[in-house]
Amino acid sequence: MQKLAIQGGAKLHGEVRISGAKNAALPIMCAALLSADELHLSNLPDMHDVATMEKLLQQMGVKISAVAQGATFNAANVDKLEAPYEMVKTMRAAILVLGPLLTRFGEARVSLPGGCAIGSRPVDLHIKGLQAMGAQIHIEHGYIHATAKRLQGARICFDLVSVTGTENLMMAATLADGVTILENAAREPEVVDLANCLLAMGAKITGAGTDTITIEGVRNLHGAAHRVMPDRIESGTFLVAAAATGGKITLTEARADIMENVLDKLREAGAHITVDGSRITLEMTARPTAVSLRTAPYPAFPTDMQAQFMALNTIAEGSAVMVETIFENRFMHVQELRRLGAQIEVEGNTAIVTGCAQLEGATIMATDLRASACLVIAGLVAQGETIVDRIYHLDRGYEHIEAKLSALGAQIRRIK
Ligand code: EPZ
């Protein structure tokens, strides 16, 4: 089990390049299944979930060749229409092969993703949508077995805003017979990035980025080249780390326009932020002020940034009310932060954080991806040494995070 050893106290300073977005790369890689032509992807982040998705596609028969700064995907000879449990259990995003396999090949067998630390994570909306498009779906022995001669366009209104639900059905609709209208669709930038890739492949999509997406099915999609968008959650994570340590950093190859809510919250905490094209500079010259927040679907405050802001609030001036409305169990980092001396009370989906002057280093344990990032940030500000255990969670969704933090002056090293 690998760990990170962090000596707290260093103020982060310098420049850091933002990698391609994990939550855009994963659905876009699945889009390769929709065509027999080559899909060239650049700016793919080098992280565990991307490697897992590549293995999942390769075991289906997709040929993947690494090229400078990216990879080429060729799904001309897919011969296995299945996503096995042992791959799905480690990466829930594998559910995103369901729509593409079903709409191109008429069949798919995808393991039901298990729950995870942050919640039960059902996929009922994915299944309901595909059934509305005419798919026959049986759940047996933990697998979703779906068949459809040819999916039919349908009007689908999501009971809940679902990012991968929107993405799965948008991909399924690209080759369906007729028009599909997705209502109460997710508006996340990663949905827009996927739509842009599908448009480049010849799909007919309007409304991506709004809550109503219309897709007119076509017979075939052709090859394309697409550059994955920058990761707004990695961006936010580094900015919060700089704010917490009282430093000054500049993100390069970033996009401020897709993280306005996070930047507003950082300014509310007292950070000075300037944006110059794809460069975002944050400077923190005083102790942060506690900021209250409520997570909600884009463009509201992202649930994937809640844990990182909690780390900031633990050492801020004042107290904050943090409400998590998306997942039912996304406070796993609270008891770990308490081990560092943080003052946090939890009532249902609300955490009250009372800032204290100083955290004390200790050994703590990561439970999920963004909780891991939160604990690293806390370690950067805690007095003395903090050991973060089970950092495989971190490696799933951040590219070379300790190298990037070390380059910004953090005292951080990986120990086996
Ligand atoms: C995506 O997960 C992201 N993952 C998550 O990022 C992110 O936290 C989440 O969206 C919310 O923004 C990827 O894009 C790969 P949802 P997803 O479907 O699509 C309920 C990270 O840290 N729901 O938008 O699985 C669900 O339980 C990860 O990078 C149903 O009830 O999330 C949740 O309460 C963590 N039935 C809510 O909707 C369904 O069929 C939103 O989930 C689908 C979802």
Alpha-carbon span 291 to 267, nearest angstrom: 10
Q: For ligand 1, is residue 303 a contact (CB within 6 Å)?
A: yes
Q: Are the C-beta atoms of residues 204 and 177 closer than 8 Å to each other?
A: no
> Full-prediction pTM beyond 0.95?
yes
Residues 6 or more apart whose CB falls under 8 angstroms from that of 142 comprise 85, 111, 112
Alpha-carbon span 35 to 54, nearest angstrom: 16
The atom number, within ligand 1, closest to the CA of 186 reads: 24
Q: Are the C-beta atoms of residues 227 and 42 closer than 8 Å to each other?
A: yes
What per-residue confidence (pLDDT) applies to 115?
A: 67
Alpha-carbon span 400 to 379, nearest angstrom: 17
Q: What is the pLDDT of residues 185-203, one digit of tens each?
A: 999 999 999 999 999 999 9
Measured by CA distance, the residue closest to atom 44 of ligand 1 is: 162
Q: Active-site residues: which are they? A: 116
Q: What is the pLDDT of residues 58-88, one digit of tens each?
A: 999 999 998 776 899 999 999 999 999 998 9
Residue 28 has pLDDT above 80, yes or no: yes
Q: Where are the alpha helices (DSSP H) in 250-385?
A: 260-268, 306-314, 332-339, 369-381
Neighbours of 374 (CB within 10 A): 30
Q: For ligand 1, is residue 124 a contact (CB within 6 Å)?
A: yes
The DSSP output letter for 91 is: -
Q: Are the C-beta atoms of residues 138 and 70 closer than 8 Å to each other?
A: no
Measured by CA distance, the residue closest to atom 7 of ligand 1 is: 304
Q: Are the C-beta atoms of residues 211 and 24 closer than 8 Å to each other?
A: no
- Render 114-157 in DSSP notation, one character per residue: --BTTB----HHHHHHHHHTT-EEEEETTEEEEE-SS-B--EEE
Element (H, E) at 393: helix 392-397
Measured by CA distance, the residue closest to atom 26 of ligand 1 is: 121
Q: For ligand 1, is residue 215 a contact (CB within 6 Å)?
A: no
Q: How far is the CA of 409 from the centre of ligand 1 (A)?
A: 34
Residue 345 has pLDDT above 70, yes or no: yes
Q: For ligand 1, is residue 257 a contact (CB within 6 Å)?
A: no
Strand order in the sheet with 107-111: 82-83, 107-111, 143-147, 136-140
The atom number, within ligand 1, closest to the CA of 297 reads: 12
What per-residue confidence (pLDDT) applies to 116?
A: 75
Residue 411 has pLDDT above 70, yes or no: yes
Measured by CA distance, the residue closest to atom 10 of ligand 1 is: 163
Q: For ligand 1, is residue 396 a contact (CB within 6 Å)?
A: no
> How many residues does the structure list for the chain?
416
The atom number, within ligand 1, closest to the CA of 120 reads: 27
The atom number, within ligand 1, closest to the CA of 96 reads: 15
Q: For ligand 1, is residue 4 a contact (CB within 6 Å)?
A: no
Alpha-carbon span 407 to 416, nearest angstrom: 21
- Render 38-89 in DSSP notation, one character per residue: EEEEES---SHHHHHHHHHHHTTT-EEEEETTEEEEE-TT----EE-HHHHT
Q: What is the pLDDT of residues 113-158, one digit of tens each?
A: 876 778 878 899 999 999 999 999 999 999 999 999 999 999 999 9
What percent of the chain is modeled with pLDDT above 70? Answer: 99
Q: How far is the CA of 355 from the centre of ligand 1 (A)?
A: 30
Q: For ligand 1, is residue 162 a contact (CB within 6 Å)?
A: yes
Q: What is the pLDDT of residues 244-287, one digit of tens each?
A: 999 999 999 999 999 999 999 999 999 999 999 999 999 999 99
